[in-house]
């Protein structure tokens, strides 16, 4: 995901980065703009990026004012997807072909975090391919922080540069999306024009049209994702009777001749089964203690899935700033579930793991049999390092996986917006997504619904010898959108009040 820091003061970024280079008259214009921004600006959304930082309500309460409000009834809830996929925004094949012709022989300045050699290498591969296919020169403008691109576009808008912006495409998510949307710095309604956007199956995966709970309104195209993935070791390998050879049985469970489905047949497949499984296998599951990011991810997954029987109007409040009413509507189901679950956890819920690493260590040491992670690629790597048992298997819950999506966006004043669309569409191609997912290239999970692809296309996402513990490439992942960030702080605070003293 793009590296970000809190963009608390856009006017300071603007002044430090751009004012000294502008004419005096322009500086006066910017000063008036900065006064206006001072009156409006507040802390932007805080997004859980690679460092997995949690967020506070104060950071987000006003950043979303100019983004469409969360929906309040069944029809409005569907608008988050409809706004992106609206037929009025889509293009015919002929129209798209014409756009591709207009895009040829242009340059696209792609502003993206440049701190990872593997990611940089993948972008170089992208540049080579779009050059071959469309004669588009993709230039990677390496950023230390995505807020640099935000401040640049804001400066251009304040200087009345509405057509010749220097940023054609930007890698973005969370807080920076909220900031750019707030100041109306992004092109709208273009995502539905991309032919490959349909490969994400957005009508079934609403997470593709929400950025940390906020509707994208066609301003961002999904590029990659991380989903909450569970991993499991069969309990039979731990609790053999004295008449059974334990080591022999564990070996049999790990052998490739055992089918994947057979190896996870006793694992829970949804939130209700998880509670039943924990009661049948007391002490064999736990989760990290809030405010750990992974802990909050599990609790938000539970909050969403435990309230699926509520009305669409009530469920839509998950994507709004928390109110006393939404707390009363949604939190009781979570607390009731946890009250019933905790006595059956590791150490009867009196102690909790400190982090995802500690959780994995408990599985590796055989103290528990079920864990979860946002970094699915860690599981086979941990098995190979002997940190997890050989018979560990990854799976996703059938009622959904909380997903963090990262996106690309086109500024409203991009000089080469047609070429930027072509590049964004190629980023969503089967070829580019499969290449990105390769562990040797980047290892970033695809946003495509692989289960909807042809068998031949699915093979592109697999390796010649897929690691037995890896999540199968054709797994059906129902992506659950992140709730509004204000829920994270609330859940953490209230959890500590209820269970923290234990």
| CATH label of the domain that carries residue 262 | 3.40.190.10
Q: How many CB atoms within 10 Å of residue 251? A: 13
In a domain, 21, yes or no: no
Question: In terms of domains, do 185 and 304 share one?
Answer: no
In a domain, 40, yes or no: no
Distance CA 224, CA 144 (A): 20
Instruction: Tell me the C-alpha to C-alpha distance, in Å, between residue 389 and each of 1, 10, 237, 241, 468.
Output: 29, 48, 10, 20, 11
In a domain, 214, yes or no: yes
Question: In terms of domains, do 172 and 310 share one?
Answer: no
Cα distance from N-terminal residue to C-terminal residue, the chain: 36
Distance CA 332, CA 142 (A): 46
In a domain, 297, yes or no: yes
Question: In terms of domains, do 260 and 371 share one?
Answer: yes
Q: pLDDT at position 89, please?
A: 66
Contact 369/285 with Cβ under 8 angstroms? yes
Q: pLDDT at position 296, please?
A: 92
Question: In terms of domains, do 348 and 494 share one?
Answer: yes
**3 state DSSP class of 114:** coil
The count of C-alpha atoms lying within 13 angstroms of the C-alpha of 499, restricted to the half-sphere facing its C-beta, is 25
Instruction: Tell me the C-alpha to C-alpha distance, in Å, between residue 172 and each of 3, 82, 176, 457.
Output: 9, 22, 6, 28
Question: In terms of domains, do 252 and 160 share one?
Answer: no
Domain count, the chain: 2
Question: In terms of domains, do 431 and 312 share one?
Answer: no
Question: In terms of domains, do 208 and 241 share one?
Answer: no
Q: What is the domain extent for residue 273?
A: 229-401+486-499
Question: In terms of domains, do 237 and 384 share one?
Answer: yes
Q: How many CB atoms within 10 Å of residue 378? A: 20
In a domain, 12, yes or no: no
Question: In terms of domains, do 108 and 179 share one?
Answer: yes
Q: How many CB atoms within 10 Å of residue 257? A: 6
In a domain, 36, yes or no: no
Question: In terms of domains, do 236 and 367 share one?
Answer: yes
Q: pLDDT at position 293, please?
A: 82
**3 state DSSP class of 377:** coil
Q: How many CB atoms within 10 Å of residue 144? A: 11
Question: In terms of domains, do 260 and 326 share one?
Answer: yes
Q: Beta strand 210-211 with 169-172: parallel, antiparallel or unpaired?
A: unpaired
Question: In terms of domains, do 173 and 187 share one?
Answer: yes
In a domain, 65, yes or no: yes
Distance CA 235, CA 304 (A): 28
Global confidence as pTM = 0.59
- Which tokens hold the place of 346? 């590791």
Q: Which segments within 324-400 are labelled E, that is strand?
A: 370-373, 393-395
Q: pLDDT at position 119, please?
A: 86
In a domain, 30, yes or no: no
Residuewise pLDDT in 10s, the chain (502 residues): 665 544 444 444 444 444 434 444 444 454 444 444 443 343 333 333 333 333 333 333 334 444 444 444 444 445 556 566 554 567 889 999 999 999 999 999 999 989 878 789 999 999 999 999 999 999 999 998 888 999 999 999 999 999 999 999 999 987 789 889 989 999 999 999 999 999 999 998 888 998 877 889 999 999 998 789 999 998 754 444 333 343 333 433 444 446 777 778 889 999 999 999 999 999 999 999 998 889 999 999 999 999 999 999 999 999 888 999 999 999 999 999 999 999 999 999 999 999 888 999 999 999 999 999 987 777 887 898 899 999 999 999 999 999 888 999 999 999 999 999 999 999 999 999 999 988 778 878 899 999 999 999 999 987 656 788 888 777 888 888 888 878 988 999 999 999 985 5
């Amino acid at each position: 995901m793009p590296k970000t820091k809190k963009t608390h003061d856009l006017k300071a970024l603007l002044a430090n980065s751009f004012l000294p280079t502008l004419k005096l008259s322009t500086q006066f214009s910017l000063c008036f703009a900065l006064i206006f921004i001072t009156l409006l600006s507040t802390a932007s959304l805080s997004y859980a990026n690679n460092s997995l930082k949690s967020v506070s309500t104060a950071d987000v309460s006003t950043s979303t004012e100019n983004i469409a409000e969360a929906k309040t009834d069944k029809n409005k809830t569907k608008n988050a997807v409809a706004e992106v996929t609206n037929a009025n925004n889509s293009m015919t094949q002929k129209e798209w072909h014409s756009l591709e012709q207009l895009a040829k022989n242009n340059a696209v300045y792609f502003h993206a975090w440049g701190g990872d050699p593997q990611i940089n290498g993948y972008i170089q591969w992208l540049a080579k391919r779009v050059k071959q296919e469309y004669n588009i020169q993709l230039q990677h403008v390496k950023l230390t922080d995505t807020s640099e691109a935000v401040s640049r576009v804001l400066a251009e808008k304040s200087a009345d540069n509405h057509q010749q912006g220097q940023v054609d495409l930007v890698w973005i998510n969370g807080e920076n999306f909220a900031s750019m949307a707030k100041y109306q710095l992004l092109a709208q309604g273009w995502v539905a024009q991309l032919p490959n956007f349909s490969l994400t199956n957005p009508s079934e995966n609403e997470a593709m049209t929400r950025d940390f709970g906020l509707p994208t309104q066609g301003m961002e195209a999904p590029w990659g994702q991380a989903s909450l993935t569970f991993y499991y070791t069969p309990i039979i390998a731990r609790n053999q009777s004295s008449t059974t050879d334990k080591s022999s049985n564990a070996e049999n469970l790990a052998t490739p001749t055992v089918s994947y489905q057979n190896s996870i047949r006793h694992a829970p497949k949804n939130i209700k089964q998880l509670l039943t499984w924990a009661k049948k296998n007391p002490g064999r599951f736990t989760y990290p203690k809030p405010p750990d990011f992974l802990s909050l991810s599990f609790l938000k997954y539970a909050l969403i899935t435990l309230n699926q029987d509520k009305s669409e109007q009530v469920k839509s409040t998950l994507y709004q700033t928390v109110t006393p009413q939404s707390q009363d509507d949604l939190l009781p189901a979570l607390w009731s579930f946890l009250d019933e679950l905790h006595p059956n956890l590791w150490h009867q819920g009196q102690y909790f793991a400190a982090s995802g690493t500690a959780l994995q260590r408990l599985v590796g040491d055989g103290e528990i049999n079920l864990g979860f992670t946002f970094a699915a690629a860690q599981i086979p790597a941990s098995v190979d390092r002997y940190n997890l048992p050989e018979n560990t298997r990854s799976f996703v819950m059938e009622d959904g996986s909380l997903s963090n999506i990262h996106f690309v966006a086109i500024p409203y004043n991009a000089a080469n917006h047609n070429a930027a669309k072509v590049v964004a569409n190629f980023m969503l191609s089967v070829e580019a997504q499969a290449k990105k997912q390769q562990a040797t290239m980047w290892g970033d999970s695809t946003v495509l619904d692989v289960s909807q692809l042809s068998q031949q296309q699915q093979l592109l996402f697999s390796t010649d010898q897929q690691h037995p513990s890896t999540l199968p490439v054709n797994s059906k992942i129902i992506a659950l959108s992140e709730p509004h960030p204000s829920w994270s702080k609330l859940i953490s605070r209230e959890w500590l009040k209820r269970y923290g003293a234990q």
